[in-house]
Structures are given as structure tokens and as C-alpha cells.
Amino acid sequence: MGTSMHGTTILTVRQKGKVAMAGDGQVSLGDTVVKHAARKVRRLYKGQILAGFAGGTADAITLCEKFESKLDEHNGNLRRAAVELARDWRADRVLRRLEALLAVVDEHSSLLISGNGDVLEPDDGILAIGSGGNYALAAAKVLMDTKLSAEEIAKKSIQVASEICVFTNSNITLEKI
């Protein structure tokens, strides 16, 4: 499941009981690279949840912070926090204008949260967002049939995306649970 937003690539992979999330580090303003080492993947709720964001930087950070407060409010329940954020995001007149996507994972679930009120979970444990998301998704699907770990698949897949998508670089942040 890939969703297009310019300026980043985030990928989550579930393999052999492990989950990894990787993201590139490029921040672009139009057709100009303004930062090479941004950190778009974060650990939340006592390190038990990973979140990655794509879209407008300020919008994405705002949503990530709102999601973190929903996690605190719901004692780390990923699904409940995701549904509550999606509901608020869709209903709130100010939040509704935010243009970003969140990929969030814990040891059991991988979820995509959008401003349309969507909370989606991929069937195969692979979730990709951002402008290079479909490239990383395709690479990860092929690599799932190898002996590589979730971390290795995520890193290699972002590398592939960075070689194709001009809005994605190979300065990769990788977190795992």
C-alpha cells in the first residue's frame, strides 16, 4: 500500500516476528534539497511504538505530536490512538487542512493514518508512504522471499527508492521493535 506525498519515503516491514521502520533523510523545498539528514522516524510511548511521517514538515510534526498525546491518553493502545487521531483529524477544521500521512507500528500492528479518516492495515505487513513509497514497497515485496531480516529489507528498499525518486535520499534512519 503506497501513498504519494512529495518529499520523503517511509517503509515498515514485518518479517520473522520483527518489525522495522526506515525513512530517508531528505527535506525538499520545491525542487531544492534543504536538508539531508532529517529524522522522520521516531520512537513513541516508552519506545514501544514507531511512527514515520510524510508530507509537509510542520504538518507532519504536528500530527505526530497529536498522535503521541492520543497514545498517552489511551495507555499505548495503538489502534485506539490511531482511530481517535483519524477521527479528530477529519472532524477538526484546523487539523483537516494538514497535509501529511503517518505510518505507525507496534509489535502487533502496522497502520497508515490519513486525514480522510483512514486507518488502514496492510495484509502483508509492508506499509510505505511518501513520494518514494511505491518504489520502496515494490523492493520490499521482492525481498520478503529472501533470508533477509526486517531491518535489512527496510534499509535495502529505501536505498532502491533513493536511486529512483528525486525526493528521497540514502541517508537512512532505521528503528526496529
Annotated catalytic residues are 8
List strand residue ranges (DSSP E) for 24-70, in order.
27-29, 32-35, 41-44, 49-55
Q: Which amino acid is located at 107 in the chain?
A: E
For 170, half-sphere exposure in the C-beta direction (CA atoms, 13 angstrom radius) is: 6
Pairing of strands 173-176, 119-120: unpaired
Backbone φ, ψ for residue 66 (5° rounding): -65, -40
